[in-house]
Structure 1
Amino acid sequence: MIQTLTTYESMTTDPYTNLAVEEYLTFHAEPGECILYLWQNAHTVVIGRNQNCWKECRVSELEADGGHLVRRLSGGGAVYHDLGNLNFTFCMRKEDADVDRQLQVIIEAVASFGLTAEKTGRNDVAINGQKFSGNAFFDSKGCYYHHGTLLLNVDTASMSRFLNPSKAKLQSKGVSSVRSRVVNLSSLCPHITVDTMKQAMFTAFSKVYGLPAVPLCADRLEQTAICKGRERFSSDRWKYGPKIPFTNRLEQRFSWGEVNLDLHVNEGMITEALLSSDSMEADWFSDIGTEFQGLPYRTDVLCKALDRSLEQHMVPENVRSDLSRMVQEQI
């Protein structure tokens, strides 16, 4: 039974730190305590624990634009975060979890602005059929969290741009996202801002649980542990797909011939590559598949390796340009 309410508001927009804090709070919530943690990430795509990042978003384009790719502990689909989005996490012991009650905090917070929200099918919260809050869950060793998004004034153009993967023929065992119609709450009520929604969430938290909420004492956060967590969440091995092997076939027809490039990837590294072409110049591509093996599955790395190999084979500039563009557009 929940007997103590605690609140904590992150002062950083670094996604890796925020996820490390979330993990720490989850595993250090006291029996009978519920912690409401509010946080924001700047220019970030967050994917579920078992998703293939390249299938979910334009990874290279996101990172080239200064954005961050993050893999969280919970399942569910990919979401886009910017400073028009407020994230929440309820951290507690598993036996104290009550999803309906937790979702009621969101519904009450929105109701304080005169808006009527309701829970929908996949633990989302919507207004008139348009989702503004997606939710996901995690539990381990009796510790539990329920977290999600609150779309306040998110840049929907960037959301569409980065959450739409390329049309490459990528086959993966990762879990795919389910897209839904979304709405920004500020478009329904101009009084909703990040600051007013934070206050509304804290007020609704106390109202729903019928208890006063007390800010978390900073001494409870062990910075050494959080730094280690941040290091893990920001590592390439964690971000780019631990234990999710997949194959991507890049293919395109050019004026000089058709090219097929099959890349087998495991844990973000190319384990096997095969390039085939009906081009009349058979020697152009003879070694490329071998040279790709062991490289990170990243657009910039592959383009450099490809260009270096083609230059050694004295491949014409227009062909090199065509192949580089194919890699950039399909990875």
Structure 2
Amino acid sequence: MIFIENEGVTDPRLNLALEEYALRNFSSDQDYLLFYINESSIIIGRNQNTLEEINQQYVTDNNIHVVRRVSGGGAVYHDFGNLNFSFITNHDNKSLNNFKKFTAPVIKVLQQLGLDAELKGRNDIQVEEKKISGTAQFSTGRRMISHGTLLFDTDLAEVVHALNVKMSKIESKGHKSVRSRVANISEFLNDPMKIEQFRKLLLEGLYEESEPFESYYLTPEEWKKVHELKADKYDNWDWNYGRSPKFNIQRTNRFPIGEIDLRIHVEKGLIKDVVIYGDFFGKEPVADLENLLKGIRYEKEDISMALKSIDINEYFGDIQKEDFLELVYGED
């Protein structure tokens, strides 16, 4: 495994561009590991409606970056007390959405530090029923990212202020507030340490899980291309916020795989536009489904026929097609 040095970059847009550049351009003969720490920022899941996930006024007043990532899942808050890790490997179907596989070495290191860490729910690492990490994945079909956050000493009050957490998510967690169900790793350590020391110990622990790591520094030409990707994509308002569609039907449900939120504009009985939001994890872009449904009569039989040849799991994870159809057009 090769460890990519991000050279102290704390700009979330540049770090996400670096991560995607490595995914799409580095050798497929190697596995890579990347660590990064971001300035105050909200990182939005690929399929989320940004304006509904954040407290826009608070974000503006406090100069908090808002950046969309390429992977699915929910919005997370980053600051200098949050360490992010990213494994970049070849894609295989057994690894996609297998959060246990790629979190196992991280959990082992946390356990060596004395934390009773374990993977819980869809994609969370918990200690004593408190979430200390959220994870997500993205696949190009050839290569994949498995990445996550580690709350080491983050400002948890800012998490509450900056994010708009939906009631459906709170209810799915047993009516617990965000602040009561998350914690910092530093709270569970017997000996205090700085995040830089924690980063070093985590890296050393991961070394033990693999062959000796080789550190890689990007060339000036590679950094130039990373900056170009940042400018073209991660600095772009359309990527980070996206459009808020005109709609006259909204249908939302929280499944075990996450929330699916549909915004549908029906005119004269036809689906004129549809946008699919949510914090689910899927391999294929939901834009393909959206385009498939446009122009279809808003009738259950017509929608069912349009979806007949579609493997719905490729877009959302483990969900029955009938359940998705019922969400699109079912009895309220």
Q: Same fold (TM over 0.5)?
A: yes
Question: Contact 2:21–2:226 (CA<8 Å) still a contact in 1?
Answer: yes
- Provide the C-alpha distance between the structure 1 equivalents of 2:26 and 2:89, rounded to a whole number of angstroms: 5
Count, aligned residues: 238
- Provide the C-alpha distance between the structure 2 equivalents of 1:29 and 1:157, rounded to a whole number of angstroms: 38
Q: Which residue of 1 aligns with 2:71?
A: 74
Q: Call closer, same or farther: CA 1:19–1:123 in 2, change over 3 Å.
A: same
Q: Call closer, same or farther: CA 1:205–1:101 in 2, change over 3 Å.
A: farther
- Provide the C-alpha distance between the structure 1 equivalents of 2:226 and 2:236, rounded to a whole number of angstroms: 14
TM-score, structure 1 length as denominator? 0.65
Residue 99 of structure 1 and its aligned partner are, at CA, apart by 4.3
2:91 aligned to which of 87, 90, 94: 94
Residue 121 of structure 1 and its aligned partner are, at CA, apart by 1.4
Alignment pair present for 1:50 and 2:47: yes
Which ranges of 4 or more aligned residues in structure 1 deviate by more than 6 Å?
175-179
- Provide the C-alpha distance between the structure 1 equivalents of 2:246 and 2:108, rounded to a whole number of angstroms: 43
Residue 92 of structure 1 and its aligned partner are, at CA, apart by 1.7
Q: Which residue of 1 aligns with 2:206?
A: 205
- Provide the C-alpha distance between the structure 1 equivalents of 2:87 and 2:195, rounded to a whole number of angstroms: 18
Question: Which one has a bigger Cα radius of gyration?
Answer: 1
Q: Which residue of 2 aligns with 1:154?
A: 154
SS, match of residue 89 in structure 1: strand
Question: Contact 1:5–1:213 (CA<8 Å) still a contact in 2?
Answer: yes
Letter of the aligned partner of 1:73 in structure 2?
V
Q: Deviations over 1:184-223 (max 9, x none)?
A: 01111143431122112212222223x1011113228612
Q: Which residue of 1 aligns with 2:308?
A: none
Q: Which residue of 1 aligns with 2:145?
A: 145
Question: Contact 1:29–1:92 (CA<8 Å) still a contact in 2?
Answer: no
Residue 90 of structure 1 and its aligned partner are, at CA, apart by 0.6
Letter of the aligned partner of 2:54 in structure 1?
C
Residue 109 of structure 1 and its aligned partner are, at CA, apart by 2.1
RMSD, aligned α-carbons: 2.8
Q: Call closer, same or farther: CA 1:111–1:223 in 2, change over 3 Å.
A: same
Q: Call closer, same or farther: CA 1:246–1:37 in 2, change over 3 Å.
A: farther
Alignment pair present for 1:113 and 2:116: no
- Provide the C-alpha distance between the structure 1 equivalents of 2:30 and 2:99, rounded to a whole number of angstroms: 15
- Provide the C-alpha distance between the structure 2 equivalents of 1:157 and 1:208, rounded to a whole number of angstroms: 35
SS, match of residue 216 in structure 1: strand
Q: Which residue of 1 aligns with 2:321?
A: none
- Provide the C-alpha distance between the structure 2 equivalents of 1:10 and 1:92, rounded to a whole number of angstroms: 21
Letter of the aligned partner of 2:134 in structure 1?
G
Alignment pair present for 1:195 and 2:196: yes
1:39 aligned to which of 36, 40, 44: 36
Percent of aligned pairs with the same residue? Answer: 30
- Provide the C-alpha distance between the structure 1 equivalents of 2:137 and 2:110, rounded to a whole number of angstroms: 21
SS, match of residue 71 in structure 2: coil
Question: Contact 1:53–1:59 (CA<8 Å) still a contact in 2?
Answer: no
- Provide the C-alpha distance between the structure 2 equivalents of 1:41 and 1:107, rounded to a whole number of angstroms: 22
- Provide the C-alpha distance between the structure 2 equivalents of 1:102 and 1:15, rounded to a whole number of angstroms: 23
Unaligned ranges ≥5, structure 1: 168-174, 249-263, 267-331
1:25 aligned to which of 13, 22, 27: 22
Letter of the aligned partner of 2:197 in structure 1?
T
Residue 165 of structure 1 and its aligned partner are, at CA, apart by 6.1
Question: Contact 1:112–1:200 (CA<8 Å) still a contact in 2?
Answer: no
Q: Call closer, same or farther: CA 1:236–1:87 in 2, change over 3 Å.
A: same
Letter of the aligned partner of 2:120 in structure 1?
T
Question: Contact 2:58–2:161 (CA<8 Å) still a contact in 1?
Answer: no
